[in-house]
Amino acid sequence: MKVNKIPAEERIIFPLDVSSSEEAFFWIERLNPFVGIFKIGLELFTSEGPKVIEKVRKKTDKKIFLDLKLNDIPNTISRTIKIISELGVDWVTIHVLAGASALKKASECAYNNLKLIGVTVLTSLDKADLLELGFNAELARDPKELVFRLAFLAYFSGCDGVVCSAKEVGKIKENFPELITVVPGIKLSEELGRVDDQLRTATPYEAILSGADYLVIGRPIREAEFPEKICEEIIFQIKKALEEKND
């Protein structure tokens, strides 16, 4: 299915940011009708190991996104991707900063329809963080340029998509429309002023309108009194943005 034809609810990625499969099952059963992808991150994967993927697969027919943010030398990356290809996940993340050689190796070694999603610049980082990390002032001043350069590298190294914020997604989509764009840092309107570890944020409506294909949305759903109602509101915003884009 082409990305632009994907239904609104299937564009929502819910992170299973819990430490046990029992907790994960609770959210899968509750949210299965409202989301398209369940994301397994470092916490759950470290707690339960690879076996958790099979457990999750038995509970849902939705896509599974393994978010390990791999970052290592090319040979280690390639061997790891071969193993992940056998686990039955649909997507896996790899840091673009691992370099072109590692990305190309990963692309060559992936099979079983595993899609590689390149992580550009974490949404928890801002200009000051980038300067502190040693990026030159020009790139640190405008994270959009740095993210675009990394997306360019990901695309020409064989990645299927990238993770970026809503602030950068527009330029990426303009230049690489076939690249899957995964956008975290999603908040509801009333949460935008709340201080947490997500700095480059947007609402679901803003992100989709800017060019995002998929939205990673955890806390706004998980911390809500009625998570299903929040999912319905997010789906409404996504549909509204898609309708405007198609006008």
Cα separation, 212 vs 154, whole angstroms: 17
Q: Which two tokens stand for residue 158?
A: 């064989």
- The predicted pLDDT at position 3 comes to 64
Residue numbers annotated as active site: 69
Average pLDDT taken over every residue of the chain: 91
| Each residue's pLDDT tens digit, 9-55 | 999 999 999 999 999 999 999 999 999 999 999 999 999 999 999 99
Contact 44, 16 (CB under 8 A): yes
- Which DSSP category does 90 fall into? S
CATH number at residue 77: 3.20.20.70
- The predicted pLDDT at position 73 comes to 97
| Each residue's pLDDT tens digit, 50-99 | 999 999 999 999 999 999 999 999 999 999 999 999 999 999 999 999 99
Q: Sort strands 63-70 and 115-119 into parallel, antiparallel or unpaired.
A: unpaired
In DSSP terms, 118 is beta-bridged to 94, 162
Residue type, 129: D
Tokens 């360019």 correspond to 152
Residue 234: is its pLDDT beyond 60?
yes
- Which DSSP category does 197 fall into? S
Range of the domain at 148: 3-246
Contact 166, 202 (CB under 8 A): yes
129 pLDDT band (50/70/90 cuts)? Answer: confident
In DSSP terms, 115 is beta-bridged to 91
Cα separation, 191 vs 201, whole angstroms: 10
Cα separation, 50 vs 39, whole angstroms: 13
> How many structural domains is the chain composed of?
1
How far, in Å, are 19, 27, 46, 149 from residue 42 at the CA level? 9, 17, 6, 26
Cβ atoms within 10 Å of 227's Cβ, excluding its own = 17
Q: Which two tokens stand for residue 240?
A: 């509204």
- The predicted pLDDT at position 13 comes to 98
- Which DSSP category does 245 fall into? H
